[in-house]
A and B are shown apart, each in its own frame.
Chain A
Amino acid sequence: DAKTTQPPSMDCAEGRAANLPCNHSTISGNEYVYWYRQIHSQGPQYIIHGLKNNETNEMASLIITEDRKSSTLILPHATLRDTAVYYCIVGLAGGTSYGKLTFGQGTILTVHP
């Protein structure tokens, strides 16, 4: 599975957009980019995923560069409840890799009032 690199921490003001970057320069053509977040003492929560195209859902937007070597998760209007550890994960290419999420250290996002 490709490795990902994320900044260890980021801050964001409440109501502003939070842009969380992720580098995955060794990603292969059939690997997806997933974002999960984990609020303190809870299980990880799925946010969004994509393969090549940009994606948007009710929680966030995912922007994947054309070469697919990096991506950005955008929370358009951050709230205090978005304070969490955000994990960018690449993988699930196939076979026994299906379902195996390889979590890194993630980015601790702190949303300030």
Chain B
Amino acid sequence: ETGVTQSPTHLIKTRGQQVTLRCSSQSGHNTVSWYQQALGQGPQFIFQYYREEENGRGNFPPRFSGLQFPNYSSELNVNALELDDSALYLCASSREVAAQETQYFGPGTRLLVL
């Protein structure tokens, strides 16, 4: 139990639709990172939010966007869903943006795009 929660736990969408995934960070954490994990692969970094600003982005197209709110919770939005977007989406929070800070992961949201 890491104190990081994600909703929903599972989601089914069709190609072309839009989806919003939510993450509540651990108390006292101001940094949230999002990852995509395809079946059988390691998680891939999407982007990170630090104090409501994007602070680094992985190799994902602009249709992947995010927000961080004043309470440091975060949303991941994906527009124009494609079949390959089917994956486990993980968020992780940490106290600060620093190399020695541990990231605590939530249980993930499993998205299936049909």
Are A96 and B107 neighbours in the complex by a CB distance under 8 Å? Answer: no
- Can you list 29 residue pairs at the A/B interface with Cβ under 8 Å? A32-B100, A43-B2, A43-B106, A44-B105, A45-B105, A46-B102, A46-B104, A49-B102, A85-B42, A93-B99, A94-B99, A95-B56, A96-B55, A97-B56, A98-B48, A98-B97, A98-B98, A99-B55, A99-B94, A100-B33, A100-B45, A100-B58, A101-B35, A101-B45, A101-B103, A102-B45, A104-B42, A105-B42, A106-B42
With A92-B99, A106-B42 already in contact, the answer to whether A100 and B48 are too (CB < 8 A) is yes
Which residues in B have some Cβ–Cβ distance to A below 8 Å? Answer: 2, 4, 31, 33, 35, 41-45, 48, 50, 55-58, 90, 92, 94, 97-108
Are A100 and B56 neighbours in the complex by a CB distance under 8 Å? Answer: yes
When chains A and B are docked, how far (Å) is the Cα of A98 from the Cα of B57? Answer: 11
Q: For chains A and B in complex, what number of residue pairs have CB atoms within 8 angstroms?
A: 73
Are A103 and B99 neighbours in the complex by a CB distance under 8 Å? Answer: no
Which residues in A have some Cβ–Cβ distance to B below 8 Å? Answer: 30-32, 42-46, 49, 85, 87, 92-106
